[in-house]
Structure 1
């Protein structure tokens, strides 16, 4: 698909640090995007990678993602999330290629910030709803075909030349330096910031030893309040 043309976005840009494989980061973005659609609010996200597998020196364990997905999907059934339904052998062992693709898509020749945000949303939907292996180059490009502002041929060429990889590693190094608390961490232009907005939770025990996520409190209005704040700052 070739990127479509549109009027340039002139509103404030929200910076979001997250990992596509983080259910809490995906919940925050889904909530924010749904509220923007409901209110007709323009929203543009500049995605920064918080690659959990680089921090943890291992793939994010499927059992942890499954436990968090169940808690979120039960509370927010409208998201359509479900546990991984494809063969376990096709479960992605890395999400770095997907994170790299979102960064590569920021190039105006590929899609710009609008296209990058579309690709991020589509990749998360592919993983959490459709159980597609978004670690695979061909699958990422198939997902990109669904994005109106992405030039898939340009994205393919960019990925073949390594575009996006350095950005992911540079962002990882920045996040390691402090100031970024985890996935997700949101920053607005006026100085507002929040780590994992909308929810407070804890693990009942070490998640690697059978612990389960326990939600202590939901904050349902955070997205509406943030969008109102962004509009007021225009």
Structure 2
């Protein structure tokens, strides 16, 4: 998902790497720029995790924030997210998504607190990168599959409690101190540059540079004026190429 526009799928490309402000320089890490409130990003992350599980490969994800509501100066409109959930959920039922089933007044107005918590979870005392990724996955599941309001700190911490890698008490202390919030704005500053095209955008130190991989779709009209995502096909093949780029020789 790009600001005020639809996400344009691209194939995996290889370009000159190593800007640490843009992605991790660690050869075994996949850097993913996204918004928790972006269904396309959640699909990409699900695909990446599923491929790693199938390959029995270690996956390290460094989550960076592409904050749609800061780009657009508004919450991402629920009708747009609903349309994308229907289109994606029908094409990839393994996601287990459903339309929002809780009371409308409990719908998340912002995803910034959830994304700040994912950043705060990177601290060693909270759990580190793997804990951060586990929390991100759990928060997405809470929103898309369980209709939970991930705008609220108490709900974020309840989700963290069921993440084995996350020290939920340490996370609560970090959030009280405002940890993670500054990372949202630092990431926003980088995301406004030309390299990050939208949510999701994946990078690796080996040169992978791909925006919204695998999805072949178009909007039938302006999504803010009643258009629908016409989702033609989805290929998960891109995930193996990304994993190959971060794998050691023994894992390929």
| Normalised TM-score (structure 2) | 0.86
Q: Which runs of 5+ in 2 are unaligned?
A: 1-25
| CA distances 1:56-109 after superposition (whole Å, capped 9, x unpaired) | 000000000000000010011111001011111100000100010000000001
SS at match of 2:50: helix
Q: Tell me the equivalent position of 2:67.
A: 51
Q: Is the 8 A contact 2:91 2:234 kept in 1?
A: no
Which has the bigger relative contact order, CA under 8 A and spacing at least 6? 2
Q: Which one of the candidate residues 45, 51, 58 is aligned to 1:29?
A: 45
Q: Tell me the equivalent position of 2:16.
A: none
Deviation at residue 215 of structure 1 after TM alignment: 2.1
Q: Is the 8 A contact 1:11 1:43 kept in 2?
A: no
SS at match of 1:42: coil
2:186 matched to 1:177?
Answer: no
**How is 1:48-197 mapped onto 2 (pairs within 5 angstroms)?**
48-197=64-213
| CA distances 1:124-153 after superposition (whole Å, capped 9, x unpaired) | 000011010000100000000111111111
Deviation at residue 179 of structure 1 after TM alignment: 0.7
Deviation at residue 33 of structure 1 after TM alignment: 0.4
Q: Structure 2 CA distance, aligned partners of 1:219 and 1:79?
A: 15
Deviation at residue 11 of structure 1 after TM alignment: 6.7
**Greater Cα shift, 52-61 or 31-40:** 31-40
Q: Is the 8 A contact 1:11 1:42 kept in 2?
A: no
| Normalised TM-score (structure 1) | 0.93
Supply the RMSD in Å over aligned alpha carbons: 1.4
**Greater Cα shift, 210-219 or 16-25:** 210-219
Paired residues, what number?
Answer: 225
Deviation at residue 224 of structure 1 after TM alignment: 2.0
Q: Which runs of 5+ in 1 are unaligned?
A: 1-9
Q: Structure 2 CA distance, aligned partners of 1:150 and 1:11?
A: 24
Q: Tell me the equivalent position of 1:12.
A: 28
Q: Tell me the equivalent position of 2:17.
A: none
| CA distances 1:15-48 after superposition (whole Å, capped 9, x unpaired) | 0000000000000000110111111010000000
SS at match of 1:14: strand
Deviation at residue 218 of structure 1 after TM alignment: 2.3
- Superposition misfits of 4+ residues, deviation over 3 angstroms: none
Q: Structure 1 CA distance, aligned partners of 2:169 and 2:235?
A: 41
Q: Tell me the equivalent position of 1:204.
A: 220
Q: Structure 2 CA distance, aligned partners of 1:214 and 1:204?
A: 6
Deviation at residue 220 of structure 1 after TM alignment: 2.7
